[in-house]
Amino acid sequence: MPNFDRSPDANDGYFKNLTLNASHRYDRAVEALAGSDQTQIAHLDSGVAPHPALNWHDWNDPAPNNILLHTGRNFFDPGGEFGALPVSPLTRSPSMLSGFLEYPAHGVKTLSVILSDRPGSLVGIARGVTVVPYRIANGPLFRDSGLNSRRDAAHFNEQQSVHALAKAISHATLLPNVKVMSISMGNPGWLGILEEARRAVGGRAGFGQVVAKSVDAAYEAGKIIVCAAGQVNDSVVYPAAYARTITAGGFNRTGQTYDHYPVWGYSNSNEVDVWAQAERINRGSYRLNGRASEPIHANEASGSERFASGTSYAAPQVASAAALWVHKYASDLEAMFGNEQWKIVEAFRTALREGAETVTLRRRSKSDLRARKLDIDGLLKIEPSAVSQSQKKVASTERGFW
């Protein structure tokens, strides 16, 4: 059976080709998706910037046609040099502790998993798909800093990241061709010994109902929101913890052995819909130095920023798979669920789970976990099935928050 996460392509140990071997079904689905703009992925992250992995080589060049800069929005720092455009300036805020929370190249890294088409460096899962980017934060951990934070006003010049996320979800929900949203960011709640660091840079635990309401509206509109499960602590983070999202967990594959990522697993692993490769992906990145940053890949000398790992890289794989499936069955989905669009999300969840391969994930200090591994070829075989009212997930606004 073809699998996208075969062994790394080179002896440096990085996965450089995320596509499927010998799957004509997958190849046809990628070709059909790339040849149409009717199924788009909204990419909610730290924004984009020129990088060869995105087929965008220079700041003076226009973005490629399949990255819709002028459709997306910057809800994080629209007063900056790029204004409303969802472009990251690749800089951190002037704080000694900003490195704990700010990874301004994060959006390029995660988007490269979807779009990259550079054999030998990285080939993504849905190369050619049309993407609507959003800049909603400057790194993968949200700061809900309060409306009257003098520190944020002075140093970050930001709207609250949490509110920016809600605005981006709401904006993408209104775009008719956006069928899938990819979110590799979250709020893990209490960070333990790192909590003081978060507070020092203006953050606090909390997500608020503004995001929950936007998730509910997107769900009712049939938008598939794929979220990274996180790895900061042993719980699935928000917004992945909302039942109306699709939650992507991670693993590290070495030969035929699968280790859960994070290694300690989750106390609420039942909330994860599917797991995908989360470590050693040769994603596009930078050696950061503002606009002069050098574009590199994870396997290049001296690396880029800390670790080439995280459920941040599992989520865009699942989002890519969702776009392939939705585009393949678009007419069936519309015919079956025209008046109840939320059923599109649940039909996909059912197909995702039924098409997955069952594997055993090793966990530190916990028993092994039988888990669903993303199998795109298996997913594409599953036609949409009827979904009953009883399968509708509980509203996010009823779920609560910290």
Please give the structure tokens belonging to residue 46.
């730290």
User: In angstroms, how far is the first alpha carbon of the chain from the final one?
Assistant: 42
Q: List residues bridging with 130 in a β-sheet.
A: 40
**Whole-number Å distance between alpha carbons of 106 and 19:** 22
Q: What is the pLDDT of residues 288-319, one digit of tens each?
A: 877 788 899 998 865 555 557 889 999 999 99
Name which residue leads in pLDDT, 313 or 193.
313
CB 298 within 8 A of CB 395: no
The answer, yes or no, to whether residue 325 has pLDDT greater than 80, is yes
Strand partners, 51: 56
34 has pLDDT over 90:
yes
- Winning range, highest mean pLDDT, from 182-191, 201-210, 230-239: 230-239
Contact between 287 and 272 under an 8 Å Cβ cutoff? The reply is no
Instruction: Render pLDDT for 326-337 as a digit per residue (tens, 0 to 9).
Output: 999 999 999 999
Query: Does pLDDT of 183 surpass 50?
Result: yes
In this model, does residue 65 exceed pLDDT 90?
yes
Structural domains in the chain plus CATH codes:
24-398 (3.40.50.200)
Please tell me which residue, 193 or 215, carries the higher pLDDT value: 215
* pLDDT, tens only, 12-25: 889 999 999 889 99
Mean pLDDT in residue range 119-125:
96
**Contact of 49 with 106, CB cutoff 8 Å:** no
How far apart, in whole angstroms, are the C-alpha atoms of residue 144 and residue 162?
6
Cis upstream peptide for 239 (omega within 30°): yes
Please report how many Cα atoms fall inside a 13 Å half-sphere around the Cα of residue 340, on the Cβ side.
11
**Please, which pLDDT band fits residue 97 given cuts at 50, 70 and 90?**
low
Lowest mean per-residue pLDDT among 22-36, 179-193, 324-338 = 179-193
Least confident of 36-40, 188-192, 305-309: 188-192
Tokens of 189: 């709640």
Mean pLDDT confidence for 90-114: 84
Higher pLDDT, 55 or 208: 55
Q: How confident is the model at residue 155 (pLDDT cuts 50, 70, 90)?
A: very low
Closest Cα partner for 393 from 225, 237, 189, 230?
225
